[in-house]
Chains A and B, each alone.
Chain A
Amino acid sequence: QKEVEQNSGPLSVPEGAIASLNCTYSDRGSQSFFWYRQYSGKSPELIMSIYSNGDKEDGRFTAQLNKASQYVSLLIRDSQPSDSATYLCAVPLFSGGYNKLIFGAGTRLAVHP
């Protein structure tokens, strides 16, 4: 099992729909979780961080965390073509001393008009 797993996609959604991106992680001791967006050829940029079980909302983005299930998700409401990008889930693993982020391979999202 990989330490951080994501479906590679592509996930295709129509404009205005809700896009749901999922991530699972292996280390039960992990305490914080990050979602990055990366446009092709560009550097990743932070969208959301979440530390507590439940939901955290920021504009059109909602991060959801379930530590018991070792599952974190990102919902994008009212998806726009400009949201088309690769979304990376990142976790600092307890086994790594929380000193570095381990990234999933990313889910490619395509929002079509």
Chain B
Amino acid sequence: DADVTQTPRNRITKTGKRIMLECSQTKGHDRMYWYRQDPGLGLRLIYYSFDVKDINKGEISDGYSVSRQAQAKFSLSLESAIPNQTALYFCATWTGGHGYTFGSGTRLTVV
């Protein structure tokens, strides 16, 4: 099993819909992160969490919210999806000296 699992892998949704992307990890890492990736812009941080009670905004948090339901689970929600939120989304955990371990990603398309 993968250390970091993201669901769904692909999703097409309509403008204005609420959508949740889920992330779970099996290694017991405290720090979890959500990034989005757009062509030419690299990975940009949306939100991060150091434990269940510690949630922090990243550089592009507007239009997104998160929930850390347990140490192993960190979900990203788009309250009202818009087309410019079409992107590849990655969840990651911090492994210390080895940097991040990434999930396989969720390709989200908002039409």
Contacts and interface: CB of A to CB of B under 8 A. Distances in A.
B48 A100 contact: yes
A103 B102 CA distance: 14
Instruction: Please give me the 8 A-B residue pairs with the lowest Cβ-Cβ distance, nearest first.
Output: A105-B42, A43-B102, A103-B43, A34-B99, A103-B42, A43-B105, A46-B99, A43-B104
A88 to B, nearest CB: 7
Interface size on B, as a range, is 20 to 34
A100 B58 contact: yes
B53 interface: no
Interface of B: 31, 33, 35, 40-45, 48, 50, 56, 58, 88, 90, 97-100, 102-105, 107
Nearest to B50: A99
A101 interface: yes
Given A42-B105, A100-B58, A88 B43 contact: yes
Contact of A49 (B31, B41, B45, B97): B97
A100 B32 CA distance: 10
Interface string A33-50: 010100001111110010
Contacts of B33: 100
Contact of B41 (A41, A43, A90, A105): A105
Nearest to B105: A43
Contacts of A105: 40-42
Contacts of A41: 88, 105, 107
